[in-house]
Amino acid sequence: MSDELTCKELVELVTSYLENALSAEERARVEAHLATCDGCDRYVEQMRQTIESLGALRETDLSPEAQTKLLAAFRHWRGSQQNA
């Protein structure tokens, strides 16, 4: 059996590939396969899109309500520190 990857093997290596966790030799095998396989090439691209979409779920917004409550809690805590 040649050392050519099958598609079934490739889909299990995608994460290691994207994480740069493959040896130089394994990486070369993956890239050789991707160069000639449209299905896998698309698969890898879809994994990249998946990761990027997940990044869009990240919340960086702090609601004004939460901020107000937390500030009030901080002031309360500060007051109790000073009284202690």
Binding string, residues 26-45; x marks residues near another protein by CB under 8 A: -----------xxxx-xx--
For residue 48, which of 75, 23, 28, 19 has the smallest C-alpha distance? Answer: 19
Kindly state whether residue 73 participates in binding another protein, applying the rule CB under 8 A.
yes
Q: State which of residues 7, 28, 31, 32 lies at the interface with another protein (CB under 8 A).
A: 7
Structure tokens that stand for 83 in this block = 């009284």
Kindly state whether residue 22 participates in binding another protein, applying the rule CB under 8 A.
no
- Residue linked to tokens 């890898």: 44
Q: In whole angstroms, what is the distance from residue 40 CA to residue 31 CA?
A: 10
Q: State which of residues 25, 35, 58, 64 lies at the interface with another protein (CB under 8 A).
A: 58
Q: State which of residues 28, 31, 32, 74 lies at the interface with another protein (CB under 8 A).
A: 74
Q: In whole angstroms, what is the distance from residue 69 CA to residue 12 CA?
A: 46
CB of 75 to another protein, least distance (A): 8
